[in-house]
Amino acid sequence: MKGLYSALMCSFDEQGKVNEQGLREIVRHNIDVSKIDGLYVNGSTGENFLISKEQKKQIFDIVKDEAGDEVKLIAQIGALNIDEAIELAQFATSLGYDAISAVTPFYYKFEFEEIKDYYTTILEHVDNDLIIYSIPALTGVNMNLEQFGELFEHEQVIGVKFTAPDFFLLERIRHAFPDKLIYSGFDEMLLPASVLNVDGAIGSTFNVNGKRAKQIFELAQSGQIDEAREVQKVTNDLIAEILDNGLYQTIKEILIFKGVNAGLCRKPMKSLTDDGISKAKQIAEKYL
């Protein structure tokens, strides 16, 4: 399960429906062109929190059918409705996903015991491994070392997608739990995370910048820090321009420029203007 995973994008049409052919093309691009090790399906990048349960199932099904066993697959099944999370966990497991992942419950200010019960309850209903999805900036849920330790006590909890800039906590988790998987979740911080010996990373920009991401990770692992720093610098230049133009919309437009039917983002996300589309093409030509 180690390695680099694209936080998979999903192609939607003008009505907000899943564009099956486009989704299949995104999967193939990630496997055949970006050369990633796996796909993280129905995460934030897949616009998961804007779609219905049935659409989530449809996406899980299409991705597994297209990818088969070529790469590892992680299904993000987290939801505020725990019954939905359980149903999605069971569905993805039945399809043969290698692991499930669940974002910490958000919006309401849940106590840690409630968060722990959320994970325990999901795992009581599914025979699969689980990766915690920690993204405090979007969920408002900050867990400390001891709390991660309590979650890791469950034998089915095999690791964490750590999307936070707290490298002190990251180092402490790595030191305390050497046998748990730690995936870095910030593409622009891949190098420092790699230096701290994470097991891999899960990133949005890997959909288009997967090759550079693998370079950074592998160079860092081999101790070639100066070389890795140069690749991270170019990567961060790319990320800065993507963010300035609109993260998900620009990645999709770059994929379209590359011949992939990446479709549109779901509302309330806006579409790129003509200037934004032109800028996305310029970014692709400059960096990719």
Q: Point out the residues that are catalytic.
A: 133, 161
Q: How far is CA 207 from CA 82, 122, 204, 212, 226, in A?
A: 29, 29, 6, 11, 25
Kindly tell me the burial class for residue 226, based on how many C-beta atoms sit within 10 Å of its own C-beta (0-12, 13-18, 19 or more). exposed
| SS3 assignment, position 138 | helix
**200 carries a ligand binding annotation:** no
Say how far apart CA 106 and CA 110 lie, in whole Å: 7
* Ramachandran area for residue 82 (φ above 0: left; ψ -120 to 50: alpha; else beta): alpha
**163 carries a ligand binding annotation:** yes
Within 13 A of 183's CA, how many CA atoms are on the CB side? 27
**188 carries a ligand binding annotation:** yes
**45 carries a ligand binding annotation:** yes
Contact 34, 255 (CB under 8 A): no
**93 carries a ligand binding annotation:** no
**Number of helical (H) and strand (E) elements in the chain, helices listed first:** 12, 8
CA-wise closest residue to 132 among 187, 181, 98, 61: 181
The gap from C-alpha 138 to its chain's centroid, in whole angstroms, comes to: 14
Tokens of 161: 């997608």
Phi, psi torsion values for 37, nearest 5 degrees? -90, -20
Binding residues for aceneuramate: 44-45, 163, 185, 187-188, 204
Binding residues: 44-45, 163, 185, 187-188, 204
